[in-house]
Amino acid sequence: MKSIPLKWWILGLLSPPLVWADLYTKVLVSRRMYPYESVEVVPGFFNLLYARNRGAAFSLFHDLDPAWSLYFFIGVTLVAACVLVYLFRSIRGRHATLLAVTVTLIASGAVGNFVDRARLGHVIDFLDVYVGTHHWPTFNLADCYISIGAALLVLYSFFLEPRERKEAEAA
């Protein structure tokens, strides 16, 4: 019997609770707050703010015609899913665990936001970070997963992968 590679265990064990946490927090916000209601949590730094985002990250493309936006975002999600499947299947080497976690974070965030978009026609955002009057665009847990995964992927691409390639060439 062939053993299951660690990367598949990471995906199978990490992704469901991440997606669940994202969707659960969005349901809590939508049931306990009114749209665009704000609750101060850390004065001068952090609020809960129930926002409905029809666009992508940071409200990009929010002004697309609603008749087409769902198709646009489904298309973007399908392309991203294909890229993520390719990346995940090609994971090997010394940093396979890091890459599996990275791709799992990005995929989990994409699934969480996709479920919202397919179910509601928009994504529920509720985390509002700010300093004074300067607010970061409101986001959710799925956006956190995607951002952390993307940052890890960038760090890997700039620091670990070139070193891995040099070591492979030297061997």
Enzyme catalytic residues: 125, 143
Q: CA 165 from chain center: how many Å?
A: 28
Nearest residue to 136 via CA among 46, 72, 74:
46
DSSP-assigned states of every residue in 34-92: -TT-EEEEETTTEEEEEEEE-SSGGGTTTTS-HHHHHHHHHHHHHHHHHHHHHHHHT--
Describe the strand order of the beta sheet including 46-53 as a list of residue ranges.
Answer: 38-42, 46-53, 123-131, 134-135
CB 14 within 8 A of CB 101: yes
